[in-house]
């Protein structure tokens, strides 16, 4: 970068940063709207590496520009390294839980059919807190809408995989009265009141006898149930064209399912796939929910960052992070810091590593100048574990394979893993929290992950905890 070799460049950069901090004032107004963005698996390494895709390590993702940042501790009641279900319960419902459980407290163990049904052990998300005071609510994701993170908005269940009735039946039998996650979205106490819902996962909503890819076995078509609820003012869409052309003023609720399973990775899409981007869904969500004079709460997830990491698809994971950043930039453009609190965070990190002394401007997906003892190239990005191990280590010869012969520039390139696992694992370190808008200064420091919804509730006077409107 021009000027980086001078003292003045860095001194002036620091002066500008300090002046910016000195000129900022705390916004202690009541937050009319709350938007929570969740980058699933977006640990600090992912954030730093993704900035290179913007043109260099000195660049900033949209949320890096937020005025206040903090760190949240992600461990669960039973695990040092958590999953996306128990973390969703923490950052949405304000209570830490056990691995694999959603919307229940820490007394419910993973897969406990009996305890999971005990409503005394249920905990409710900030979406319900918002519904209780007349605000609009929504959830948007690039994964199945019944996946662990979005389910935290509306579901109460002891096993994150019970996305349809057949999964429940296999685990607990058919006589327990357990409502699966898809059913809870359409008919549950919170799910049935959500105003704007978008993602993938159509297969979990329709019986296999009614739809070729359906997974249900109870004869239900939950999509049709949604269409027929609340008269004729519910809009259901399955393509980008349908979403973008719809006049949302004519509808009370909007539901979009764009794939039978997860939505396609951004790098898998083109003009023929007819799938909206996360940014497009975000813009439509804010446009729709802004009709309510009381305000809104919405949860928006860049969920496929996580799924790409699990397969050691570093190229895809970082691209998904950039797409996530675009959605956040759109939200800031469409809202005002004066009355809208935006919080961006992750549920957990991943085992990805970013090292090896690469030179400035080096391709983040390329090799480093580090010179390993085996004299074979060494990549800037690698993972502690995952399914790529066999591609990069010759077990019979007990030696590494030259990674530059395996990584070719393809979007599905798997990056090196040190230990063989079917799926790469999460990481357990703290994750970043980035905030702007009313009371965003609360989100500084290091705190438990479950504090996040309580701070959002404080800023917007939601829930039964402390609230800015009653603090005196």
Q: Please tell me the predicted confidence (pLDDT) of residue 66.
A: 97
Which residue do the tokens 């002066």 mark? Answer: 15
Q: Please give the structure tokens belonging to residue 408.
A: 């070719």
Q: Do residues 276 and 243 lie in contact, with contact meaning Cβ atoms separated by under 8 Å?
A: yes
Which residue do the tokens 């519904």 mark? Answer: 131
Closest CA to 262 of 149, 150, 144, 129: 144
- Mean of the pLDDT values across residues 112-136? 97
Binding residues: 40, 147, 149, 301, 306, 310, 347-348, 426
Q: Is the pLDDT of residue 157 over 60?
A: yes
Give 305-353 as a DSSP string.
HHHHHHTT-HHHHHHHHHHHHHHHHHHHHHS-TTTEEEEEE-S-EESEE
Split at pLDDT 50, 70, 90, the class of 472 is low
End-to-end CA gap in the chain: 51
Instruction: Exactly one of 76, 84, 125, 440 is catalytic; name it.
Output: 84
Q: Please give the structure tokens belonging to residue 148.
A: 């662990």
Q: Is the pLDDT of residue 236 over 70?
A: yes
Q: Do residues 145 and 306 lie in contact, with contact meaning Cβ atoms separated by under 8 Å?
A: no
Adjacent-strand bridge partners of 383: 352, 417
pLDDT in tens, 303-350: 999 999 999 999 999 999 999 999 999 999 999 999 999 999 999 999
Q: Do residues 197 and 137 lie in contact, with contact meaning Cβ atoms separated by under 8 Å?
A: no
- Non-local (6+) Cβ contacts of 316 within 8 A are 265, 267, 304, 308, 411, 412
Q: Do residues 153 and 93 lie in contact, with contact meaning Cβ atoms separated by under 8 Å?
A: no
pLDDT in tens, 384-400: 999 999 999 999 999 99
pLDDT in tens, 174-231: 888 999 999 999 999 999 999 999 999 999 999 999 999 999 999 999 999 999 997 7
Instruction: Reply yes or no on whether 84 is catalytic.
Output: yes
The Cα 306–Cα 187 span in angstroms is: 28
The Cα 153–Cα 120 span in angstroms is: 18
Strand 340-345 with 399-400, pairing: unpaired
Q: Do residues 336 and 34 lie in contact, with contact meaning Cβ atoms separated by under 8 Å?
A: no
- Mean of the pLDDT values across residues 36-54? 98
pLDDT in tens, 94-107: 999 999 999 999 99
The Cα 107–Cα 212 span in angstroms is: 39
The Cα 352–Cα 417 span in angstroms is: 9
Q: Cα 88 vs. chain centroid, distance in angstroms?
A: 9
Q: Which helix (H) or strand (E) holds 383?
A: strand 381-383
- Mean of the pLDDT values across residues 110-135? 97
| Complete domains list, the chain, with CATH | 29-351+430-470 (3.40.720.10), 357-420 (no CATH)
Q: Please tell me the predicted confidence (pLDDT) of residue 79.
A: 98
Handedness of CA 250, 251, 254, 256 (dihedral sign): negative
Give 102-168 as a DSSP string.
BSB-TTSPTT-TTGGG-GGGB---HHHHHHHTT-EEEEEEEEETTSHHHHTTT--BS-TT--SHHHH
Q: Please tell me the predicted confidence (pLDDT) of residue 448.
A: 98
């Amino acid at each position: 970068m021009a000027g980086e070799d001078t003292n003045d460049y860095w001194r002036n950069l620091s002066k500008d940063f300090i002046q910016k901090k000195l000129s900022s004032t705390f916004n202690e107004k009541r937050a009319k709207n709350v938007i929570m963005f969740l980058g699933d698996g977006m640990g600090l390494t992912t954030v730093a590496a993704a900035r290179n895709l913007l043109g260099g390590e000195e660049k900033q993702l949209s949320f890096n520009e937020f005025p206040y940042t903090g760190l949240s501790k992600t461990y669960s009641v039973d695990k040092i390294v958590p999953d996306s279900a128990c973390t969703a319960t923490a950052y949405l419902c304000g209570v830490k839980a056990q691995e694999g459980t959603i919307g229940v407290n820490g007394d419910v163990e993973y897969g406990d059919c009996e305890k999971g049904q005990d409503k005394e052990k249920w905990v409710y998300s900030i979406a319900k807190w918002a519904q209780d005071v007349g605000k609009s609510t929504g959830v948007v994701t690039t994964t199945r809408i019944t996946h662990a993170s979005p389910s935290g908005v509306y579901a109460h269940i002891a096993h994150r995989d019970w996305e349809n009735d057949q999964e429940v039946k296999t685990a607990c039998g058919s006589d327990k009265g357990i409502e699966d996650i898809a059913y809870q979205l359409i008919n549950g106490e919170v799910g049935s009141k959500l105003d704007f819902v978008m993602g993938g996962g159509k297969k979990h909503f329709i019986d296999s006898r009614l739809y070729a890819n359906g997974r249900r076995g109870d004869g239900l078509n939950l999509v049709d149930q949604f269409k027929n609820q609340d008269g004729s003012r519910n809009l259901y869409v399955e393509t980008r064209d349908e979403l973008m052309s719809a006049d949302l003023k004519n509808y009370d609720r909007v539901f979009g399912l764009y794939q039978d399973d997860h939505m396609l990775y951004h790098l898998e899409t083109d003009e023929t796939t007819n799938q909206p981007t996360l940014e497009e869904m975000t813009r439509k969500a804010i446009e729709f929910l802004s009709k309510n004079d009381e305000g809104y709460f919405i949860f928006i997830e860049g969920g496929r960052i996580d799924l790409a990491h699990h397969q050691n698809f570093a190229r895809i994971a970082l691209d998904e992070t950039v797409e996530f950043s675009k959605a956040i930039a759109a939200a800031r453009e469409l809202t005002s810091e004066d009355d809208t609190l935006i919080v961006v965070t992750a549920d957990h990190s991943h085992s990805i590593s970013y090292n090896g002394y690469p030179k400035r401007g080096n391709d983040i997906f390329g090799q480093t100048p580090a010179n390993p003892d085996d004299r074979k190239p060494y990549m800037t990005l690698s993972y502690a574990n995952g399914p790529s191990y066999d591609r990069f280590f010759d077990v019979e010869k007990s030696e590494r394979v030259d990674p530059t012969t395996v990584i070719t520039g393809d979007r599905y390139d798997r990056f090196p893993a040190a230990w063989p696992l079917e799926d790469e694992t999460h990481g357990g370190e703290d994750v970043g929290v980035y905030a702007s808008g009313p009371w965003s200064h609360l989100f500084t420091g290091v705190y438990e992950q479950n504090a996040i919804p309580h701070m959002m509730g404080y800023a917007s006077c939601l829930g039964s905890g402390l609230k800015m409107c009653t603090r005196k």
